[in-house]
């Protein structure tokens, strides 16, 4: 017969059942949220650690006294701003603890263990809690890894066992919080205060608590953060009328501007348990019941009035990556498939655009030379127009929005109109383009740094490229049409690659032109700095593309191709030998120019030509 452990409370033959309570597990800290407002906190030390202690104390509205012969720049700033009181001398434990009145806490942040021990001993003799930085055995309490979002504070403690791991845990917890959690908490706090003002009877305490608990448990945090003044008034009416908060539908008199079906009824009741992407719509303010207090004061009401109410559309900048749908992030694909309106760059390839649902309106931005600024203004205007209708707008950008994509400019423009843009990163051709073509932009022993540039700056000028460094890889975006002036600038018009003003780029430096990376017609043209212009003139180009310059260009080619900085293009040189053998050595008109062309699958065609002839290629795998 098996043994079975019962959870039923044990009973005594002569008395009631014995209660079954959990046994405490020791080793924890007693964690509280201490109200330090106007309390005196003394910080001993003037360095960066002390500055951190001071900042935390100031955020808790404490009165902070810093005792130290000198202050770090941050503490100097706070002293100049009258945020702290500074005693410019060493801390005298006996004297200062006696003369400074009403000390609540002492925090030491000095690099002197003996002085710290003396301060701790004096504090304990006076029953003043003390923390000594980096001396856990002397601390009455520890600082925790903290996340703050307005009124929300989340602290993680490992009880001094793994402080760095506490930081990681805190980041994980904070990252899992819904967007605008702090805003939601502040709004519920203001609503709670308003309800208490409307119904101050102590006997209503339990009713208030139960009603607000239902509201907080039922409504998504994202929706609570969207509450505006009108929603606030309606929720107060619901409480006064004893209406279940889970039955409240705000925005019941507002038009459904987010609906794709224009034939739907223009009234909508928002279900608060719907997904966070549902926007809360508002109705006109209703009169409160007689005897209810007026709207909150400015101090408590600003939190709602700031949204009076901005249209509820959303804008997302989505990186379309390199053109292959398989290389899109999951979040980018979801954003494309759920958008109401999409504004796409004209360079976004058709395989990506094919993901746009037929029911979604798609606008292709037309940016042409000399018209880019006007086109950009048109993009912003179209997006704002749709946002004001409550649409979910996606701004689809080639590559990554923040890598030469004007994404930052667009975030700023949308912010000026009251919309906070979400950014979904995409693979940038700056790194992924070369990778798809077998070019690592860094490689141990060959290239330890990479510099990403644009082929032209805002005024259309050439980029400012630093002097040559053998271990640096240059990646120049938007450069195919400016290849010749770029190369000319690197060589400084000197055939031997030498120039004044610093070390310049050698003519035999490997170069690759990467075209349409990630697309079915991807192509890579390999040559050298002194030959790439002529090679491209002969084989043509197919933008968009980028240029990769440096010894890393040829580091991964097979043994029959360039394999080191010293061996610039032996495989292409094989095509030279093949051509010489076909035509005879008497036809060789001087030095030939070798090159290599690769397709998406890195199948190579080796080529060469005399300066006065057409190119000759031979396929090599």
Q: Which residues are tagged catalytic?
A: 134
Q: What is the rounded distance in angstroms from the CA atom of residue 246 to the CA atom of residue 273?
A: 9
Q: Are 594 and 602 in contact (CB under 8 A)?
A: no
**Who contacts 515 (Cβ-Cβ below 8 Å, separation ≥6)?**
480, 521, 522, 523, 524, 525, 541, 542, 543, 544, 545
Of 386, 427, 419, residue with least CA distance to 403: 427
Q: What is the rounded distance in angstroms from the CA atom of residue 604 to the CA atom of residue 523?
A: 10
**Total H helices, total E strands in the chain:** 18, 20
Of 312, 315, 313, residue with least CA distance to 230: 312
Kindly state the tokens that stand for 106: 């002492």
Run of H or E residues at 606 = strand 604-609
Q: What angle do the packed helices 48-59 and 73-80 form, to 10 degrees?
A: 40
Q: What is the rounded distance in angstroms from the CA atom of residue 488 to the CA atom of residue 484?
A: 6
Dihedral Cα 302, 303, 306, 310, nearest 10 deg: -150
Q: What is the rounded distance in angstroms from the CA atom of residue 558 to the CA atom of residue 566?
A: 15
| Residue 453 DSSP one-character state | E
SS (H, E, C) 512-561: EEEECCCCCCCEEEEEECCCHHHHHHHHCCCCCEEEEECHHHHCCCCCCC
Helix (H, G, I), strand (E, B) or coil at 608: strand
Q: What is the rounded distance in angstroms from the CA atom of residue 441 to the CA atom of residue 450?
A: 6
Residue found under tokens 């002194």:
530
| Residue 494 DSSP one-character state | -
Q: What is the rounded distance in angstroms from the CA atom of residue 541 to the CA atom of residue 401?
A: 25
Beta strands (DSSP E) in 150-301 are 152-156
Dihedral angle sign, alpha carbons of residues 221, 225, 228, 229: positive
Burial class (CB in 10 A: 0-12, 13-18, 19+), 276: middle
Dihedral Cα 260, 265, 269, 271, nearest 10 deg: -40
Q: What is the rounded distance in angstroms from the CA atom of residue 211 to the CA atom of residue 196?
A: 12
Burial class (CB in 10 A: 0-12, 13-18, 19+), 4: exposed
Q: What is the rounded distance in angstroms from the CA atom of residue 345 to the CA atom of residue 398?
A: 7
């Amino acid at each position: 017969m098996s043994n079975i452990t019962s959870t039923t409370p044990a009973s005594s033959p002569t008395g009631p059942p014995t209660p079954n309570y959990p046994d405490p597990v020791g080793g924890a800290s007693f964690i509280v949220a201490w109200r330090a407002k106007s309390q005196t906190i003394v910080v001993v030390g003037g360095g960066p650690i002390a500055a951190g202690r001071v900042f935390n104390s100031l955020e808790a509205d404490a009165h902070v006294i810093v005792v130290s012969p000198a202050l770090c720049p941050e503490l100097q700033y706070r002293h100049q701003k009258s945020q702290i009181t500074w005693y410019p001398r060493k801390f005298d434990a006996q004297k200062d603890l006696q003369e400074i009145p009403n000390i609540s806490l002492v925090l030491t942040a000095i690099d002197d263990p003996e002085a710290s021990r003396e301060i701790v001993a004096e504090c304990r003799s006076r029953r003043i809690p003390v923390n000594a930085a980096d001396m856990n055995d002397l601390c009455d309490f520890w600082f925790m890894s903290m996340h703050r979002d307005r009124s929300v504070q989340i602290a993680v403690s490992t009880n001094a066992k793994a402080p760095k791991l506490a930081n990681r845990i805190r980041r994980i917890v904070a990252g899992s919080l819904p967007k605008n959690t702090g805003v939601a908490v502040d709004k519920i706090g203001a609503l709670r205060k308003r309800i208490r003002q409307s119904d101050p009877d102590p006997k209503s305490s339990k009713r208030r608590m139960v009603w607000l608990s239902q509201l907080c448990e039922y409504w998504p945090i994202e929706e609570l953060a969207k509450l505006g003044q009108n929603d606030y008034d309606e929720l107060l009416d619901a409480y006064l009328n004893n209406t279940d908060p889970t039955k409240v539908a705000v925005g019941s008199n507002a038009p459904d501007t987010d609906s794709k079906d224009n034939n739907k009824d223009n009234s909508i009741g928002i279900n608060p348990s719907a997904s966070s992407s549902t926007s809360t719509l508002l109705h006109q303010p209703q009169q409160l019941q007689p005897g209810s207090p007026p709207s909150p004061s400015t101090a408590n009401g600003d939190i709602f009035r700031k949204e009076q109410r901005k249209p509820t559309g959303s804008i997302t900048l989505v990186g379309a990556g390199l053109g292959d749908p398989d290389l899109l992030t999951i979040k980018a694909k979801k954003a494309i498939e759920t958008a109401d309106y999409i504004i796409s760059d004209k360079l976004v390839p058709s395989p990506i655009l094919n993901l746009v649902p037929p029911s979604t309106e798609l606008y292709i931005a037309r940016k042409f030379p000399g018209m880019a600024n006007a086109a950009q203004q048109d993009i912003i205007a179209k997006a704002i127009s749709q946002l004001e209708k409550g649409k979910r707008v996606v701004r689809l950008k080639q590559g990554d929005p923040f890598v030469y994509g004007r994404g930052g400019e667009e975030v700023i423009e949308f912010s000026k109109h009251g919309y906070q843009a979400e950014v979904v990163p995409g693979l940038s051709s700056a790194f992924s383009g070369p990778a798809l073509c077998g070019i690592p932009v860094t490689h141990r022993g060959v290239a330890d740094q990479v510099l990403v540039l644009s082929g032209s700056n805002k005024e259309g000028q050439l980029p400012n490229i630093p002097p040559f460094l053998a271990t640096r890889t240059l990646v120049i975006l938007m450069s195919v049409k400016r290849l010749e002036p770029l190369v000319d600038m690197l060589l400084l018009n000197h055939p031997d690659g030498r120039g004044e003003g610093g070390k310049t780029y050698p003519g035999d430096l490997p170069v690759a032109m990467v075209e349409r990376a990630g697309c079915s017609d991807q192509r890579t043209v390999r040559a050298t700095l002194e030959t790439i212009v002529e090679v491209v003139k002969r084989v043509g180009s197919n933008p968009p593309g980028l240029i990769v310059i440096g010894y890393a260009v040829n580091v991964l080619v097979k043994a029959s191709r360039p394999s080191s900085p010293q061996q610039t293009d032996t495989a292409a040189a094989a095509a030279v030998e093949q051509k010489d053998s076909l035509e005879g050595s008497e036809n060789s008109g001087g030095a030939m120019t070798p090159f290599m062309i690769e397709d998406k699958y890195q199948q190579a065609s080796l080529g060469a030509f005399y300066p006065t002839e057409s190119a000759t290629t031979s396929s090599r795998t």
